[in-house]
């Protein structure tokens, strides 16, 4: 039995068998020699692994085309082409023949040369194709080694996915029925992969450093997403203890479920709006099941992922209309395309940058590609007559961007009016406040919009200069840093002065202790992963507004993030001890 500690990013406990997705060194093979008479066998083995990989990729492409649509499956056509690369295949053959080495070794040397060559090329598009080549190469290697692996899409048994890293698009492709938890070597608490684990309600621990190397396929594991603990090969006593914990977790969830139809109201009648964050429309049943009063953040960029083309206006319109209708008359805030950072789109030829989180992304990209931006705005506007839609822009850093975005919106409205296509003339427009400069000019920005939504995930990363996906500095990523509380207070005060409503849609709002602080600071709306709603509602219903205000003003007197965190958690524990029962 071995216990590893990482960063807990999605709560709950899971006990099951490991499925290694990819480890960092799957291409490192030590050199061994074969006898000359074994050469033909190695060549056949390599050919067979190519054939097997090809048929796997055809299978995946077909399944994706059936389940999600042809446009998403095209990405695998590019993968298939790599398998036809004669130079690569011939290089492997000659290495086997000339050096008397097994196919795995020959392939590993040749493919590493390819990775290296692609990384040197001065063409950003080709550089990015390395990820596709790695994906195919990993499959070939697994087939050569005879490793039993399943794609994350068609699993037969329940598994715990273990990987060096998981991209948001890989996470999006997971078979939600069978992946019961995941654990990765790298990643931070507000990486989009972590956020998706929460919305899929599967326990997850990231930042484990070497888990993908310590675990083998089929190993028994426990993932404790509450504490960030992973136990490999647990003994029966430990399994029993965690089994009990898993049951208690389910009991608490069932108990909290009773609050579903009650308002998020303090003991003295102050009401807050509790809404949910989604990445995909198929999360809506879970949003409704958890009693959300609407959607406060629809991360529309996921609609653009895992496909080789851009969604057309009509396709987007249908998707937004579907969301609007399912939620109506409850509000849905659609955030316009927020690509970049850790979210990449295969369909767009965007160069890799040195600092992707601070680069050509989100509203900056949209204002440069008005064709893409306007198609999305038109789609949102057209869908707005089917429900209660609002829209907001990500990554606003100055008032000019906001005015320019609103200008494109006005053009889109004008076009629709001229074409006599109906839309909600009063659609509310908001700005995300997630860059410190936006906080400091929030009095100015407030004149241009109807609401603010504070994106604490990015606000923390930009204010504290802490990359949100880097596990090495995750200890510095402090939502309770006094600077963060001051920035939030400043923004809320400016929103109040301008008489516009203000919410928080970053992960901070889904933490019940932080929710009390935000309530006390005067926030109007909290938007979070659906599963987090019941606990936050429980906390809000356990205090008076005055108590929450006192908690907030006391918290602002402390000098360190740790003190504020401990103070807020102690306050929460005092009013809702049941949330803490071990």
Q: Which residues bind ligand PEP (CB under 6 A)?
A: 297, 299, 338, 434, 455-458, 505-506
Cβ 10 to ligand PEP shortest distance, Å: 15
3-state secondary structure 275-343: EEEECCHHHHHHHHHCCCCCEEEEEHHHHHCCCCCCCCHHHHHHHHHHHHHHHCCCEEEEECCCCECCE
Cβ 424 to Mg ion shortest distance, Å: 25
**Rg, the chain, Cα only:** 25
Residue 412, both tokens: 């889109």
Specify whether 192 is catalytic.
Answer: yes
Nearer to ligand PEP, 23 or 461 (CB): 461
Instruction: Please identify which of the residues 79, 366, 481, 505 carries the catalytic annotation.
Output: 505
The Cβ-side half-sphere exposure at 124, using a 13 Å CA radius, reads 8
Give residue 85's Cα distance to chain centre.
34
- In the list ligand PEP, Mg ion, none, the entry touching 22 (Cβ below 5 to 8 angstroms by class) is none
- Provide the β-strand partners of residue 278: 298
- In the list Mg ion, ligand PEP, none, the entry touching 506 (Cβ below 5 to 8 angstroms by class) is ligand PEP
Cβ 412 to ligand PEP shortest distance, Å: 23
With beta carbons less than 8 A apart as the criterion, state whether 248 and 60 touch.
no
Does an H or E element contain 205, and which? Answer: strand 204-206
From residue 394 to residue 433, what is the string marking binding to Mg ion with x (rule CB under 5 A)?
A: ----------------------------------------
Strand runs labelled E in 6-61: 7-10, 13-20
From residue 161 to residue 190, what is the string marking binding to Mg ion with x (rule CB under 5 A)?
A: ------------------------------
- Provide the β-strand partners of residue 393: 431
Query: What's the CA gap between 549 and 310, in Å, rounded?
Result: 46
Query: What's the CA gap between 330 and 74, in Å, rounded?
Result: 36
* Interacting positions 473-502 with Mg ion (CB under 5 A): none
Instruction: Please identify which of the residues 192, 290, 366, 481 carries the catalytic annotation.
Output: 192
What separation in angstroms does the CA of 310 have from each of 19, 74, 305, 307, 365? 33, 12, 9, 8, 14
Give residue 205's Cα distance to chain centre.
14
Cβ 297 to ligand PEP shortest distance, Å: 6
Applying CB under 5 A, which of residues 170, 185, 458, 507 lies at the interface with Mg ion? Answer: 458
How many residues of this chain bind Mg ion (CB under 5 A)? 3
The bridge status of strand 273-278 relative to strand 229-232 is unpaired
Nearer to ligand PEP, 137 or 305 (CB): 305
Cβ 508 to Mg ion shortest distance, Å: 12
- In the list Mg ion, ligand PEP, none, the entry touching 299 (Cβ below 5 to 8 angstroms by class) is ligand PEP
- In the list ligand PEP, Mg ion, none, the entry touching 297 (Cβ below 5 to 8 angstroms by class) is ligand PEP
Applying CB under 5 A, which of residues 102, 281, 455, 503 lies at the interface with Mg ion? Answer: 455
Specify whether 79 is catalytic.
Answer: no
Cβ 506 to ligand PEP shortest distance, Å: 3
Nearer to Mg ion, 434 or 478 (CB): 434
Query: What's the CA gap between 194 and 62, in Å, rounded?
Result: 28
Nearer to Mg ion, 39 or 345 (CB): 345
Nearer to ligand PEP, 71 or 507 (CB): 507
From residue 43 to residue 82, what is the string marking binding to Mg ion with x (rule CB under 5 A)?
A: ----------------------------------------
507 forms part of the interface with Mg ion (CB under 5 A): no
- Provide the β-strand partners of residue 161: 19, 182
Q: Quote the crossing angle between the two packed helices 236-257 and 533-540, to the nearest 10°.
A: 60
Catalytic residue positions? 192, 505
Binding residues (CB under 5 A) for Mg ion: these are: 434, 455, 458
């Amino acid at each position: 039995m071995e216990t590893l500690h990482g960063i807990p990013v999605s709560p709950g406990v899971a006990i099951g068998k490991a499925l290694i997705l990819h480890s960092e060194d799957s291409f490192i093979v030590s050199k061994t020699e074969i006898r000359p008479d074994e050469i033909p066998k190695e060549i056949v083995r390599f050919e067979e692994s190519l054939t097997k990989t090809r048929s796997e990729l055809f299978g995946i492409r077909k399944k994706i085309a059936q389940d999600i649509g042809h446009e998403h499956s095209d990405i695998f056509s590019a993968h298939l082409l790599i398998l036809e690369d004669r130079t690569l295949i011939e290089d492997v053959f000659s290495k086997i023949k000339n050096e008397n080495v097994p196919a795995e070794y020959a392939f590993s040397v040749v493919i590493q040369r390819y990775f290296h060559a692609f990384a040197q090329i001065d063409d950003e598009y080709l550089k990015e194709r390395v990820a596709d080549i790695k994906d195919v190469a990993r499959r070939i290697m697994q087939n050569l080694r005879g490793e039993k692996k399943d794609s994350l899409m068609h699993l037969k048994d329940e598994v715990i996915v273990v990987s060096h890293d998981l991209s948001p698009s890989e996470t999006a492709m997971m078979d939600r029925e069978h992946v019961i938890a995941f654990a990765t070597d790298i990643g931070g608490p507000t990486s989009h992969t972590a956020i998706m684990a929460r919305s899929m309600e599967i326990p997850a621990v990231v930042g484990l450093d070497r888990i993908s190397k310590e675990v083998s396929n089929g190993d028994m594991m426990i993932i404790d997403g509450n504490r960030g603990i992973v136990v490999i090969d647990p003994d029966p006593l430990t399994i029993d203890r965690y089994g009990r914990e898993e049951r208690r977790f389910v009991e608490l969830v069932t108990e909290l479920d009773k609050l579903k139809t009650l308002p998020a109201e303090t003991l003295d009648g102050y009401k807050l709006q509790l809404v949910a964050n989604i990445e995909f429309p198929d999360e809506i049943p879970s949003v409704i099941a958890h009693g959300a009063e609407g959607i406060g953040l629809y991360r529309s960029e996921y609609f653009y992922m895992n496909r080789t083309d851009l969604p057309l206006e009509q396709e987007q319109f249908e998707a937004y209309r579907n969301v609007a209708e399912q939620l109506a008359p409850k509000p849905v805030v659609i955030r316009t395309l927020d690509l970049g950072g850790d979210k990449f789109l295969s369909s767009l030829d965007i160069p890799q940058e040195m600092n992707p989180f601070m680069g050509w992304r989100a509203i900056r990209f949209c204002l440069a590609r008005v064709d893409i931006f306007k198609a999305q705005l038109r789609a949102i506007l057209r869908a707005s007559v089917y429900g209660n839609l609002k829209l907001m822009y990500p990554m606003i850093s100055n008032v000019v961007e906001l005015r320019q975005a609103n200008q494109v919106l006005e053009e889109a409205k004008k076009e629709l009016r001229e074409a006599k296509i109906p839309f909600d003339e009063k659609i509310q427009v908001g700005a995300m406040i997630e860059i410190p400069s936006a906080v400091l000019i929030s009095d100015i920005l407030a004149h241009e919009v109807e609401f603010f939504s504070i994106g604490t995930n990015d606000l923390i990363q930009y204010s504290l200069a802490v990359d949100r996906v880097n596990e090495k500095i995750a200890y510095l990523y402090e939502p309770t840093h006094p600077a963060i509380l001051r920035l939030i207070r400043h923004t809320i005060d400016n929103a109040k002065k301008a008489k516009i409503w203000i919410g928080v849609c970053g992960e901070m709002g889904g933490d019940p202790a932080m929710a009390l602080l935000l309530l006390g600071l005067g926030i109007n709306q909290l938007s979070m992963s659906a599963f987090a709603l019941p606990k936050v509602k429980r906390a809000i219903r356990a205090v008076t507004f005055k108590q929450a205000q006192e908690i907030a003003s006391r918290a602002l007197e402390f000098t360190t993030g740790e003190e504020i965190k401990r103070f807020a958690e102690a306050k929460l524990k005092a009013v809702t001890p049941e949330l803490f029962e071990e």
